[in-house]
Chain A
Amino acid sequence: MSLFLRDYLTVVWFGLAAILLAGLLLGVAAAVRPSRPSKEKLIAYESGVDPVGMGWSQSQIRYYVFALLFVIFDVEAVFIFPWATAVERYGWFGLITMLIFIVLLLDGLVYAWKRGLLRWV
C-alpha cells in the first residue's frame, strides 16, 4: 500500500472506532432502557395536538434558490484553493485569470441579488 493511502487508513480506523463507539452507546442504552410504546407515544409531536396532514409537507422554493447559489461558491472554492496555495508560481497570468473568473462568478451573485432572489420575504 502506498504511503499516501497508509495515512488515510488511520482515518478509516478512527472512523470505524467512532462508529463502534456510537453503536456501543446505542447498544448499552437498548439493553438497559424500558420499552413500553403506546399508540399515543408514537404520534409525531405537534405541540400536543393531533398532527394535521403529512409530516413531509412541502417547503418553500426559496431554499432551493439558495442551494443553487451555494453551488456557485462551492465551485469557486474548488478552483480558488489550489490556486491560493501557489499564487507566486502562476504569477500575473494566474492572478488576472482568477480575477476574471471570480468577477464572472460574482456576477451570478449580483444578478441573483438584482432579481431580488436574495430577499427573504
Chain B
Amino acid sequence: MNLMVASLLAVDPLLDTDKWWWKVLAIVAAKVLAIFVIGLIGTMLMVWFERKIVSGMQNRIGPNKAGPFGILQTLADGMKLFFKEDLLPDKADKWVFRVAPFLAFVPAFLLWSVIPLGGDFTDGKDGTVTWFGETTRVQLIDPPVGILIVLALSSIGVYGIMLAGWASGSKYPLLGSVRATAQMISYEAALGLSLGAVLLMSGTLSTSGIVGGQDGIGNWNIVATGFIPFVIFMIAMTAELSRPPFDLVEAEQELVGGFNTEYSSIRFGLFFLAEFMNVITMSAIIVTLFLGGPQPLTLGGVDMLGFAGPFGGTLWVILKTLAFLYTYVWFRATLPRLRYDQLMDFGWKLLIPAALGWFLVLAALQMTRDKYDGLGPVLLAAALGVAVLFVAYLLFNAALVVSKRNREREGVAY
C-alpha cells in the first residue's frame, strides 16, 4: 500500500521519511536558496548575454563599462531603478496596480520548482542524488502533475500582465495588456496541444518521469515525436514570452511601452525581472520536454561531459538551455515583428490544426506500435494517419474555399 502510494504520487524520496526532520528541512531550504540564487544570477546574466549578443550581431560593442565585459551592467541598472521615484498614476486602480507585479514575478519564480536541474538519469536511474546521506532529486519538488503546474503558472503570469495594463487607467497600457492576453491565450492552445505529443511518448506528467524516458538521443522527444511538435512548441513559447518576432505586446511604435508604460522604479524592475526569468525557465522547460534535460549526449557510448561526475547532469541542462537562450536572442536580431493579424492567423490557422493533426497521428502510431508485432502496426498506423490527415486536409480545404468566398463577397480586407 505504502509502495503504491509512493509510486502513484512519485514523491521525492527525501520527503518520504519521518526521521531527521531538521536534515530534511535543511536540504529543502538549501534547495530553495540555491534555486533563488540561480534564478536571480541567471536572469542578471541573461540580460547581459542578450544585450551583448544582439550588439555583436548589429555591429556594436554593447555594454562594456560596468565590470569585465560589462557583465555587471544589469546590476548597475537594477541599482539605478532602486533610487528612482515610484509614481502611482492618478487614475490608476491603486490596489490592483500594486498587486500586479507580484502576480507576474511569483509564478516566474515558482516555475523553477518543477524543472529537473540535474541528477543522473542514465541507464534507467531515476535521477536521485545523495546529499548528507539523504536521497533526493535535483529539483525542488517532483509532483505527479509537474507539467500541469508549468501550464498553470504560465497562465497566472498572464494575469499579472493583464491586470497591470488594466489597473494603469491609461490607454496604451490597456491596449498592450489586451493584446498580450489575446496573444498568450491563442498560443497557449497550440502549446498545450504540442505538449500532448510529449505526454503520449512519456506516459507521465511528472517532469522527472519525462526526462527519465528520454535515455539516448534516439529517445529524446524531439526525435521520438517527429520534430513537428518541437517546432510548434518553440514558436508558441516564443509567443508566450512575447519575445521578438512576437513582441506586439510592447511594440514601441504603436503602444509606447505596452502594459508597463505607467510603471516606474523597482515595480517596473519586477516586470522586467519576471520577463527575463521566464525566458530562462521556459528554455529549461523545452530542454526538459524535448531534449532530455540532464540526459547526457553520448559519443560512442561515453558521456561527453563524464569528467564532471555528479554535476554532469546540471552541466548538460545549462549547456542545452544556453543553446535555446542564444536562439531566442538570434530570433530577436534576425526576424522582423509580425503584424497582429498575421500573428493571429499563424496561431489559429496553422499551428493549432498542425499540432492537433500531428497529435492524432502520433496517438495512432503509439497505440499500434505496442499492440501488434511485425509490419502490421506500421501499416495500420499509416492507414489511420493518412485517413486523419485526409479528413484534416478536406476540412482545411473547405475552410480555405469558404474564407476565399467570404473575402470575395466582402472585399479584400488585407
Contact = CB atoms under 8 A, between A and B. Distances in A.
Interface of A: 3-4, 6-8, 10-11, 13-15, 17-19, 21-22, 25-26, 28-30, 32-37, 41-47, 51, 54-57, 59, 63, 66-67, 69-70, 73-74, 76-77, 80-81, 84-88, 91-92, 95, 98-99, 102-103, 106, 109-110, 113-114, 116, 118-121
Contacts, number: 241
Given A70-B185, A109-B352, A7 B395 contact: no
Given A3-B15, A22-B105, A25-B269, A88 B171 contact: no
Interface of B: 5-6, 9, 11-12, 15-16, 28, 32, 35-36, 81-91, 101-102, 105-106, 109-110, 113, 140-143, 147-149, 151, 166, 168-172, 174-175, 178, 181-182, 185-186, 188-189, 192-193, 195-196, 199-200, 202-205, 256, 261-262, 265-267, 269-270, 340-341, 344-345, 348-349, 352-353, 356, 359-360, 363-364, 366-367, 370-371, 388, 391, 395, 398-399, 402-403, 406, 410, 413-414
| Interface pairs A-B: 10 shortest CB-CB | A44-B170, A120-B341, A73-B189, A55-B169, A29-B266, A18-B109, A84-B199, A77-B192, A70-B185, A42-B90
Given A36-B85, A118-B348, A55 B199 contact: no
Nearest to A8: B143
B340 A120 contact: yes
Contacts of A25: 266, 269-270
Taking chain B's interface residues, is the majority helix, strand, or loop, or is none over half, making it mixed? helix
Nearest to B399: A113
B215 to A, nearest CB: 19
B119 to A, nearest CB: 17
A63 B182 contact: yes
Nearest to A103: B391
Contact of B85 (A19, A35, A57, A87): A35
A103 B84 CA distance: 55
Contacts of B175: 59
Nearest to A84: B199
A78 B321 CA distance: 29
